[in-house]
Amino acid sequence: ISQALRNHLIIPSWGEFTTKIRNIFEEIRTNVDPGNVATYIPQLARIDPNIWGMSICTIDGQRFSLGDCKTNFCFQSVSKAFNYAIVASDIGADVVHSYIGHEPSGRLFNEICLDANGKPHNPMINAGAIIVTTLIKNGLPMADRFDFVLNEYKKLAGGEHIGFNNAVFLSERDTADRNYALSYYMKENKCFPRGTQVGDMMGLREELDLYFQLCSLETNCETAAVMAATLANGGVCPLNGEMCIQPRPCRDVLSLMYSCGMYDFSGKFAFHVGLPAKSGVSGAMIVVVPNLMGICLYGPPLDQTGNSCKGVAFCRKLIENFNFHNY
């Protein structure tokens, strides 16, 4: 409030800014490729394709939301960015990257492949994200590991609500042949960190359960925008000033989101939009404008590369209207 009274806000002409954002948002609602919602589990297949929501949170806590900004969605692969940041902040990026590379794979997000060093290419695709999951408080009981991540998500969100969709979790687990195959392939190639509990069928199943549970965490645009703003703010939550992610892993996750966060479209997204982002198969995506704000977009229909049609179109328009591209 004192910053506002002194006119020291990070976006001073807020009215002008939000008017432009509203125009972009409404234009995208009607004027974009229709795409298709994900159908591999019934919970996603049943989602209303017309849902369209957007929220912004600046690093000084100014907030603006439009449309279905309070509608819940599952993080799905958006969780991969937060999980990586949380684990790297907990045990150090160097440890994490002794098991996972930094390069875009140029392959599908769930492809069964490793890089030239026999590691998953990066933490933003399934292979790398499964390894990240095994590094979460390894050695503790599963319930404590889940609680740890949930609490970290809540911290990133400034205490706002993070839910869990059990139906999505159960469906994910029922349709997980690819993730099992991928995990056995990684087990065969000794990709899993020493001391992790994947030695037998039961251990592997428990690790994958945790991975599916984190995909099934639920939030809405308003809250995810705060989480993205925490990443924009060097790991410090703009709502309460709490340090959630150490500065180095915060920088690292943004670098990886920039190069690998949008599936097989990551290069083109970096080229046109020039901002770190992470999308998920639920149609949600987060975008970070470093040192300025976090954005969350939610439009369920996906394009050919698996990204939200409306979300990507919004980002392209954003860059036409504002000087946010990194370069």
Residue with smaller CB distance to ligand DON, 35 or 280:
280
Considering CB under 6 A, how many residues would be counted as binding ligand DON?
A: 10
Q: What are the CA-CA distances from residue 146 to residues 49, 158, 170 (Å)?
A: 31, 19, 16
Single residue of 109, 153, 298, 314 touching ligand DON by CB under 6 A = 109
Residue with smaller CB distance to ligand DON, 43 or 246:
43
* Residue from 82, 83, 102, 104 nearest 94 by CA: 102
Single residue of 65, 76, 196, 233 touching ligand DON by CB under 6 A = 76
Q: How far apart are the first and last CA of the chain?
A: 32
Residue with smaller CB distance to ligand DON, 77 or 223:
77
Distance of alpha carbon 307 from alpha carbon 278, whole angstroms? 9
Single residue of 68, 152, 172, 222 touching ligand DON by CB under 6 A = 172
Using the rule CB under 6 A, is 312 a contact of ligand DON? no
DSSP output for 77-142: THHHHHHHHHHHHHH-HHHHTTTS--S--SS-TT-----TTSS-S-TTSHHHHHHHHHTTTTTS-H
Q: What are the CA-CA distances from residue 197 to residues 62, 134, 194, 279, 284 (Å)?
A: 43, 8, 9, 29, 31
Residue with smaller CB distance to ligand DON, 32 or 217:
217
Using the rule CB under 6 A, is 230 a contact of ligand DON? no
Single residue of 217, 228, 245, 281 touching ligand DON by CB under 6 A = 281
Using the rule CB under 6 A, is 300 a contact of ligand DON? no
CB of 320 to ligand DON, least distance (A): 27
CB of 129 to ligand DON, least distance (A): 8
Single residue of 18, 43, 72, 110 touching ligand DON by CB under 6 A = 110
Using the rule CB under 6 A, is 296 a contact of ligand DON? no
Given the DSSP bridges, would you call strands 284-289 and 293-298 parallel, antiparallel or unpaired? Answer: antiparallel
Q: What are the CA-CA distances from residue 32 to residues 94, 298, 302 (Å)?
A: 41, 14, 11
Using the rule CB under 6 A, is 120 a contact of ligand DON? no
Contact of 148 with 137, CB cutoff 8 Å: yes
Distance of alpha carbon 77 from alpha carbon 49, whole angstroms? 19
- Comparing every residue's Cβ against ligand DON, the nearest one is 77
Single residue of 77, 83, 165, 213 touching ligand DON by CB under 6 A = 77
Using the rule CB under 6 A, is 215 a contact of ligand DON? yes
Single residue of 179, 223, 230, 259 touching ligand DON by CB under 6 A = 179
DSSP 76: T
59 class by beta-carbon count within 10 Å (0-12 exposed, 13-18 middle, 19+ buried): buried
Residues that bind ligand DON (CB under 6 A): 76-77, 109-110, 126, 172, 179, 215, 280-281
